[in-house]
Amino acid sequence: MRARRTRAAAECRCPSRRANLRAGLALATLFVVPVAFGQDAAQWLQRAATAARTLNYVGTIAYQRVGRIETSRLVHFSDAGNEFEKLTNLDGPAREVIRQNDQVRCYYSDAKLVRIEPRALHNVFPSLLPQQLATLTEFYTFRKAETARVAGMETQAFVFEPKDGMRYGHKFWADVSTGLLLKARLLNEKGETVEQFAFTDIQIGAKLDRDMFRPPFAAPPPDWQVHETPTGDVAPQDTGWMVKDLPPGFSKVIEGYRTLRGKTGQVAHLVFSDGLVAVSVFVEATPATPQAVGPSQLGGLNVYSRPLNEYLVTVLGEAPGATVRQIAYSVSRR
Amino acid sequence: MADREVDQQLVERAQRGDKRAFELLVLKYQRKLQRLLSRLVRDPGEVEDVTQEAFIKAYRALPSFRGDSAFYTWLYRIGINTAKNYLVAMGRRAPTSTGFDNEEAENFEDAEQLRDAATPEDELHGKQIAATVNKAMDALPEDLRTAITLREIEGLSYDEIANVMNCPIGTVRSRIFRAREAIAVELRPLLGTDKDRRW
Amino acid sequence: MGQFQVGPGDAVAGGFTGPKPEEISQLMDGELDGGRVDEVCAGLRDAGCVATWVCYHVIGESLRGSATVTSGFSERFAHRLAAEPTVLAPQPRKTTPAAAALAIAATVAAISVVGWVALTTMPTAPTALATARQAAMVRAADARPPIDNEYVLVHQEYSPTTAIQGVRPYLRAVAASEPDARP
């Protein structure tokens, strides 16, 4: 199938507009400094982010990690400032995620569960804090790699190669004409792929309409549960927790309390970032039922949990196990 | 042969990670394989398990299927081995009969030779299905009936049928589909709804 | 070709619409236009379409004098197949270095696979898949803690690459972790 090229259209008029303006200013300030490849890296990422938000596209994604592969169908529609997205599992239990602007609904047919949550995006491209963009170039080498065909489209690969072993390598393949990411890969220190998302087929500029994003049912059937996560941005707060021994390049992005389903009491949440990835630190009161602790992994996401007096610390992020573990063990009260 | 092509396409999709493609193959062959294995595993209560086990083994062995033989031939051998191993594990012996180690036996459709082990309900249900299909066939206009007979019983391709019936291939396509739908209308109630599948 | 129709599985409107019965008829005869095969196969998710696939095959079997009944087979088999790790066969095309790297990663990270299987189990998840995973968890030498789905989803709000990848990070939460089961 030949792809029709569409140019990234109107700006998405959603709540992150203010953030976009802030970021635009921040980036403009940065461009005054002649950091040539930082500009390049930021441009590629910004183009990818814009394309993901503003284009209409539909395709099949293969998500691979450690010898497993799962396929899903993705539809994305941008219309008059509104954004719609639908992700459907093609194998395994029947599950679907439907997003309209900032609201996300996950339909788990196997557990008969609908989960509704706000998807407020903070700290994402293009709205990075200026210091994050600086660390991005300090701790990663950005370079363009090969051109390749992905899902039948011409793409340009570009790489963020970590300068130390505390972070993963990232390789992205962007559609040459729109900048949309068609493949993304996380690489460990040995250059092995830890996780990969890739479109196996895609139509950019497909004819879509809102009807395609209707939920599978108008009202959930009586035997289904609905879990609704409280909305609203989390106000930044001083939680009294800190990470003494942060790996180089990581700095705190935000800190505050969250109410989470299944947790009694509020959970402290701190986010650290090196400009390309984030690591979350959660501190909760020790749960009533004993929890297994230690390392876990979910594709490119590494997790480490440990008890700390009457608390349970859980750290997770798209970073190697050692990084996540180091952060977990250096969480302490201020 | 057209049948082998569609199987090959589904197998290739399954080998690329599409589990549902494999399920479509299972839906196509589950009755045939179970019928075959019921001649070895005589207990109707056990034969389904053995048949499912065979399909799972086939799924796991998919990477080694290269398309040198037809999919069903390959599946058939896995099925026979699964059933034989099961019988050995149960301390039983396979009924002595010719034809099981012979590939041609896979097309052994004549149920009179060796009766399938089936529950009385399933037997009755099977008879009802046969009766319904026959009745619907009799009610078909002749061109539709001929088209579907040439396809399903003679195994001719659309091209060959177009030749025999002296009509365009598009007409063949349409006649076969209309014949199937006309019969399906009568048959669907017997096969149950999605909530209550009888397949 | 060159036509931008969305795939048959993409319209929702109260249920999936699958491929047309005419195409199912052609597909089963191996006479479907090559360019349509992938889409029709992918679109054969709709319950009605699968029933049609089965029904058309039963018609053929019946005409050939072999109407066997396998009541409930497909439902039970679907559960068993869901519990199987997805098979990936190396393609006859050349193996790219990337694919080789993935394969190596798989071998090296074999322990992680067991850990991963263990960690995605929620204690009372109802599906057969979860049961299979629980069984694996019991067998696993090092039982790893389950990952809290809530944490994953909240974390993703702050992950810089989420905006680039859109809903794709949800694949982690949707594909792997079992959500809370009913009490």
Single out the residue of B57, B116, B49, B105 nearest to residue B81, CA to CA.
B57
* C87-121 tens-digit pLDDT: 887 655 433 333 333 333 333 332 222 222 222 32
CATH number given to A1-229? 2.50.20.10
Single out the residue of B99, B87, B91 nearest to residue B40, CA to CA.
B87
Residue B125 has what pLDDT?
86
pLDDT band at B29 (very low <50, low <70, confident <90, very high): very high
Contacts of C143 in chain A (CB under 8 A): 292
Distance CA A140, CA A134 (A): 10
pLDDT, mean over chain B: 83
Q: Complex ipTM, two decimals? A: 0.87
| SS3 state of residue A37 | helix
Single out the residue of B98, B90, B87 nearest to residue B37, CA to CA.
B87
* C115-171 tens-digit pLDDT: 222 223 222 222 333 333 333 333 232 334 566 777 887 787 777 766 556 566 666
Q: Most A CBs within 10 Å: which of B16, B23, B24, B194, as the mutation test of the A interface?
A: B16
* A36-92 tens-digit pLDDT: 445 677 778 778 878 888 889 999 888 887 667 778 888 988 888 788 888 888 877
Crossing angle of helices B19-37/C34-43, nearest 10°?
A: 80
Residue A39 has what pLDDT?
60
pLDDT at A277 over 80: yes
User: For residue A154, with 0-12 CB atoms within 10 Å meaning exposed, 13-18 middle and 19 or more buried, which class applies?
Assistant: middle
Contacts of C37 in chain B (CB under 8 A): 9
Q: Which residues pair with A312 in a beta bridge?
A: A284, A307
Percentage of chain B lying above the pLDDT 70 cut:
84
- Residue C183: cis peptide before it, omega within 30 degrees of 0: no
From the list B31, B62, B173, the residue facing C61 with the nearest CB is B31
pLDDT at C11 over 80: no
Helix (H) or strand (E) holding A86: strand A82-89
- Tokens for B139? 């009610």
Residue B175 has what pLDDT?
97
* A199-236 tens-digit pLDDT: 988 999 888 888 888 887 777 788 888 877 665 456 68
> Does C125 or A331 have the greater pLDDT score?
A331
Percentage of chain C lying above the pLDDT 90 cut:
14
Percentage of chain B lying above the pLDDT 90 cut:
40
Residue C135 has what pLDDT?
31
Q: Edge-to-edge strands of the sheet including A113-118? A: A140-150, A153-162, A169-175, A181-187, A193-204, A57-65, A68-79, A82-89, A95-100, A103-108, A113-118, A225-228
- Return the residue of B nearest to C92 by Cα: B66
Distance CA C3, CA A207 (A): 10
**Largest alpha-carbon pair distance within chain B?**
58
From the list C38, C60, C71, the residue facing B122 with the nearest CB is C71
Q: Most A CBs within 10 Å: which of C87, C148, C152, as the mutation test of the A interface?
A: C148
- The answer to whether B139 contacts chain C (CB < 8 Å) is no
Contacts of A62 in chain B (CB under 8 A): 17
Residue A34 C-alpha, separation from nearest chain C C-alpha, in angstroms:
23
> Does B18 or A3 have the greater pLDDT score?
B18
Mark yes or no for CB contact B31/C75 under 8 Å. Answer: no
pLDDT at A118 over 50: yes
- The answer to whether C89 contacts chain B (CB < 8 Å) is yes
The residues spanned by each domain of chain C are: 8-142
Q: What is the mean pLDDT of residues B58-66?
A: 89
Residue A126 has what pLDDT?
42
Contacts of A91 in chain B (CB under 8 A): 17-20
Residue B59 has what pLDDT?
94
Contacts of C167 in chain A (CB under 8 A): 74, 76, 85-87, 97, 99, 104
Residue C5 has what pLDDT?
33
Residue B102 has what pLDDT?
46
Single out the residue of C70, C52, C28 nearest to residue B31, CA to CA.
C70
Residue B93 C-alpha, separation from nearest chain C C-alpha, in angstroms:
25
pLDDT band at C85 (very low <50, low <70, confident <90, very high): confident
Q: Most C CBs within 10 Å: which of B3, B6, B8, as the mutation test of the C interface?
A: B6
For residue C113, CA distances in Å to A199, A324, C106, C143 come to 24, 19, 8, 12
Mark yes or no for CB contact B177/C38 under 8 Å. Answer: no
For residue A178, CA distances in Å to A51, B55, B63 come to 6, 44, 36
* A122-179 tens-digit pLDDT: 544 444 545 556 667 788 888 899 999 998 999 999 999 998 888 999 999 999 999 8
pLDDT at C56 over 80: yes
pLDDT at C34 over 90: no
Residue B197 — φ and ψ, nearest 5°? -75, 135
Residue A1 has what pLDDT?
34
Lowest mean pLDDT: which of A101-115, A313-327, B112-126? B112-126
- Tokens for C80? 């068993």
Q: What is the mean pLDDT of residues C57-71?
A: 87
- Return the residue of C nearest to A292 by Cα: C145
State the span(s) of chain A assigned CATH 3.30.200.100. 235-333
> Does C142 or A196 have the greater pLDDT score?
A196
Q: Write the class of the CATH domain A235-333.
A: alpha beta
Residue A53 has what pLDDT?
81
Residue C100 has what pLDDT?
33
Residue C161 has what pLDDT?
66
Give the best-scoring range by mean pLDDT among A254-258, B26-30, C135-139. B26-30
Measured from the Cβ of residue B90, the count of other Cβ atoms closer than 10 Å reads 11
